[in-house]
Structure 1
Amino acid sequence: MSAKMYPMQFEPILKERIWGGEKLKTILNKPINSKITGESWELSTVEGDVSIIANGSLKGKSLMDIINESPDEVLGTAVHARFGKQFPLLFKYLDAREDLSIQVHPNDKLAKERHNSFGKTEMWYVMQADTDSRIIVGFKEDSNKEEYLNHLENNTLVSILDDVKAKSGDVFFLETGTVHAIGAGLVVAEIQQTSDITYRLYDFDRVDAQGNKRELHVDLALDAINYNKVETFKNYDKVFNQSNVIVDCPYFTTNYLPLDGKVEVSKNGKSFTVYMCVDGNFEIESENEKYIYKKGDTVLVPAALKSFSLNGNAAVLEVCIV
């Protein structure tokens, strides 16, 4: 018999990065003790980094354990039919004390051929931005392989890339092939396909504590890059107590749900739902049980929970697969 399903939180998987800082602790209350923590993986089935349940009767089990035992109940009937017993998304918070490397992710076809992996379509929700923080997203104008390589060789790549100021509440949607970098001074919620495949193009000539530069993947990236100008910024509505669509793509649908009171939620059992609390506090009430969340929390509501309510004063990202 399947275990009883309930809203689940997971132990954060914390990642030190050369560009990381301490905001995941000071702003999001993550249990870090390093001055260079760049990422908190909230919900992951990436090999070697599988999330462990932190609450309730299934505490201590891994996300893969419960999917293997109850795929329809956890993933949903439609997600299970499409992806098998794979959890198709990865949820993170990132703190960029310095600029991230300029990078690109391959599409599903390339990632499958080269790495037996999903591609990496992703989106960013900016939770906090220092003054004049910016991101790099794609080319300023349509480019080509020759122009790109010429600028890469001459250390002038940044001059042909689109540099966009970013502020709290901004959303950027990055399809595979989009050259990008999160800039210094940003805390970001990231929703992406389950993939850890990144091709690093340029790293600002940084070295690590041992004086070594990080590996670049210039050759692998050439066939992965979209050399055309792309539109990544997403405008979206912010109607209270309503799911306002931000991104609706083949891999995930993300809504912005600003809470001011109580919202009843009804689901059809076809997909799980994930809530990322990007501001404030809220609770989920299900089967007379209450679960309380604060800014920086991420919760998986299994597909088997078809009726529940949200209540609080919060800004929440609501993610499912349609």
Structure 2
Amino acid sequence: MNLYPLKFNPILKERLWGGTKLKDVLDKPIENDITGESWELSAVKGDVSVVANGDLSGASLQDLINKYPEALLGKSVYARFGTEFPILIKFIDAKQDLSIQLHPNDELAKKRHNSFGKTEMWYIMDADKGAELIVGFNKDVTKEEYAKSIEEDTLLDLLNYESVKEGDTFFINTGKMHAIGAGVLLAEIQQTSDITYRVFDFNRRDKNGNLRELHTDLALDAIDYTKKDDFKVTYSDKKDSVNNMVSCPYFNTNILELTKDLELDVEKRDSFTIYMCVGGKATISNEFGSVSIKKGETTLVPAQSKKINIITTSAKLLEVTI
């Protein structure tokens, strides 16, 4: 099968904390004012992406992986993950603060949930004045100190707050306490996992008046209690170049800020390539076809591609591979 660059229908998620930026800034087809997430590329059971362009329109991502595993994923990716797509790609709009949470590592997630862990990264696309993230602790704490803070409702006093602006990038490894703050629109790249341990939700109630479930006990053995400054990503912003942002065992992410066309030789990459457009617009092609994407859209270029051509006069792209 000659697989061209694939674009998928967004999977839109209403959230208690969601807003309207996915519609107003990214032009998503939304009719309410509490949409918090647009899942751009997903093989999570129950939320599998469906192709929106070309002859394969209507096919699910999982169906294509099952039929063309090496051509779509790459031989090494298929050998490592089988037919499980290893990446989940989202845009997230936080009108309100998200709950304070963390994710278990692979070992714990496998043992408890038969799932991958959840390592992730965030690229800030838009931030209101004064917007912040919570990332990690502001000092080393013990498990006992943490448990006491939960009991006494003083957890916020132990957490580290980071002011953010467009272009800021954060790497969130497993076990790290974190929350997206109100007024932040971001692109999220993560392992395929929906395992989240929520530890504090500002005592908010849902539309039915219920408090959301907390995972206090599950979190205790999953938390990294040490203060670390390993989350803010520094990267080159050289234009018309491929600049590395994050390299980890689960994904590699580059940023490309382009003012002209770019041709990439990817014959030896042996991985699919994802492009998230976080600014401008571009047409992306391989030997078998092309797709146009604009800010807020995503495409998957199959691993069988030997060359990728990006046609643009102004685009900012996150490039994700395994």
The normalised TM-score by structure 2 is 0.98
The Cα shift of 1:290 comes to 3.8
* Offset from partner CA, 1:41-85 (integer Å, 9 cap, x none): 000000100000000111100000010001000000110111111
The Cα shift of 1:287 comes to 3.1
Distance in 1 (CA, whole Å) between partners of 2:207 and 2:263 is: 51
Map of 1:225 onto structure 2:
223
Map of 1:316 onto structure 2:
317
Structure 2, unaligned runs of 5 or more: none
Map of 2:183 onto structure 1:
185
Structural mapping, 1:28-43, within 5 Å: 28-43=26-41
Map of 2:192 onto structure 1:
194
The Cα shift of 1:90 comes to 0.1
Which letter does structure 2 place at the counterpart of 1:277?
A: C
Distance in 1 (CA, whole Å) between partners of 2:293 and 2:238 is: 21
Alpha-carbon contact 1:234-1:246 (below 8 Å) kept: yes
The Cα shift of 1:289 comes to 4.2
Map of 2:15 onto structure 1:
17
**Number of residue equivalences:** 319
Cα distance change on mapping 1:288 and 1:209 into 2, 3 Å: closer
Alpha-carbon contact 1:269-1:305 (below 8 Å) kept: no
Distance in 1 (CA, whole Å) between partners of 2:256 and 2:8 is: 22
1:239 and 2:245 are equivalent in the alignment = no
Percent identity over the alignment is 55
The normalised TM-score by structure 1 is 0.98
* Offset from partner CA, 1:156-188 (integer Å, 9 cap, x none): 101110011011100000000000000000001
Structure 1, unaligned runs of 5 or more: none
Which letter does structure 1 place at the counterpart of 2:56?
A: L
The Cα shift of 1:196 comes to 0.2
Distance in 1 (CA, whole Å) between partners of 2:193 and 2:290 is: 33
Cα distance change on mapping 1:52 and 1:308 into 2, 3 Å: same
Compute the RMSD of aligned alpha carbons. Answer: 0.9
Structural mapping, 1:70-81, within 5 Å: 70-81=68-79
Alpha-carbon contact 2:283-2:310 (below 8 Å) kept: yes
Map of 1:66 onto structure 2:
64
Map of 2:250 onto structure 1:
251
Map of 1:265 onto structure 2:
264
Cα distance change on mapping 1:302 and 1:289 into 2, 3 Å: closer
Which letter does structure 2 place at the counterpart of 1:211?
A: G
Determine helix, strand or coil for the equivalent of 1:95: strand
Distance in 2 (CA, whole Å) between partners of 1:180 and 1:200 is: 10
Distance in 1 (CA, whole Å) between partners of 2:218 and 2:83 is: 29
Map of 2:46 onto structure 1:
48
The Cα shift of 1:288 comes to 7.5
Map of 1:176 onto structure 2:
174
The Cα shift of 1:221 comes to 0.3
